[in-house]
Amino acid sequence: MGKLAKLLHINGIKRRTTLFLVNHVYCGTGHFEKKRKLLNRIGFEIGEGTKVVGPIECTGHLIVGKNCWIGKNLKVNGNGTVTIGDNCDIAPEVTFQTGGHLIGDETRRAGEGVIFNQSVGSGTWIGGRSTILNGTNIGKSCMIAGCACVIRDIPDNSLAGGGYRQKSYESCRASISIFKRYEGSIV
């Protein structure tokens, strides 16, 4: 085995071991600083004060700002980069889909593979089980409703839910008021 192959093999073992620690040994609402340091050692960029619940699954590159909350079962599928700003809250089971395909011909509809990069602006809250697709950029101070499928860019101070609806910040305030009053869904 050559030097490069040995190095790649050792780095793979280090990554798998570290993810095992984060996802199984230190999983849950504790050991936040330990998990942050472990993840940073294997190439993640997790800012100070950020709390990762775990488990996480990431085949791409993950950059998270300061003072964020990353809920359980975060997934970054594909080989793209996900950049999350400061003071963001990512609820459980959020998926960032950074890989996809061009539309192929009639013999095979999944054509050539494509890698997407995605970003989440500072102060944004993404509800549980939301899915972020393609090269989507979510602005600052947004609220993404639970189970939303984000398929296009979302401007700053917006509320987005479902696969297509989005509201301005003023509508967002009204929705929050209704949500508090009826304890119902934001969407």
| Residues recognised as catalytic | 101
Helix (H/G/I), strand (E/B), else coil: 7? helix
Whether the CB-CB separation of 140 and 103 falls below 8 Å is answered with no
Given a contact cutoff of 8 angstroms between Cβ atoms, the answer to whether 30 and 48 are in contact is: no
CA distance 85 to 120: 6
Q: Which residue has the tokens 């090269």?
A: 135
DSSP 8-state code for residue 25? I
